[in-house]
Amino acid sequence: MRRTKEDAEKTRQTVLEAALKLFSRDGYSLTTLSRIAKEAGCSRGPIYWHFENKDDLYEAVLAYSQEPLEALVAECADMRETPIEAMDRFIERWLGLLANNRQYRQSFEILLNKTELTDAMSRTLKRERALTKSIIGLFRDLVGQAVDRDLITTQEDPEDLGLLSYTYLMGITQTWLFAPKLFSLKQETPFFKRQFWALLGR
C-alpha cells in the first residue's frame, strides 16, 4: 500500500512538471489535458485521479509561486528579528526564489505572462489578491515599526510605503521574467536591495 501511495505521488509530480512546462511555454488556453498527459507520458486517467479538471491542475501549478510567498509572509511577520532584517530577508528570498527555483519561476511566469484572466481563474485570482494584500500589509507593519524605532526616517505614510515595496518587487519580477537576458537577477540583487532602502529613506 505504501508503494502504491509513493507511485501515485510520483505520478502527480510528473503531471505537475508537465503542466508547468506547457503552461509556461504555451499559456493556459492552448494547453489541454491531452497535451499534458502526452508530455507526462500517461493517459488522462491519472490526471483526473489527482485533479478535478484543468482549472484544478492550474491552481496546483500556481501554488508553486503562491505557497512559498505565503510562508515567507508568515515567517517575516514573526518578529524574531528587527523590522529592517525582516524586510531585507523578504527581498532576498523573493529574488532568490526567482533566480534559483525553476518551478517557482515558471509558476510566476504563468500567472503574470501566460494567463487570460477569465471567470475560470476566480479561485486562483482570489488567492493571489489575498496574498498581494498580505505582502503589502506586512511591509506596512514593518515600515511602521522601523519608523517607531527610528530605524527609518520618512514622512511618508507606512501604508503607501507598503504599497511601494510590493510594486517595486513586482516591477523587478515582471521585467526580468519578460526579458531575462536584460540583466542578471543574481548579480543585481544587491543593487536592488540598496535602492529599496533608498526609496524607504534609510
| H helix and E strand count, the chain | 9, 0
**CB-CB contact of 91 with 193 (8 Å):** yes
Q: What percent of the chain has pLDDT over 70?
A: 96
- Helix, strand, or coil (residue 34): helix
The 10s digit of each residue's pLDDT in 127-147 is: 889 999 999 999 999 999 999
Q: Is the pLDDT of residue 3 over 90?
A: no
115 Cβ neighbours under 8 A, 6+ residues apart: 27, 28, 121
For 109-136, give the DSSP string: HHHHHS----GGGHHHHHHHHHHHHHHH
What pLDDT is stored for residue 107 in this prediction?
A: 86
Round the average pLDDT of the chain to a whole number and report it: 89
The pTM is what? 0.86
Question: If pLDDT is split at 50, 70 and 90, which confidence band does 1 have?
Answer: very low
Q: For the purposes of burial, counting CB atoms within 10 Å of the CB of 200, is it exposed (0-12), middle (13-18) or buried (19 or more)?
A: buried
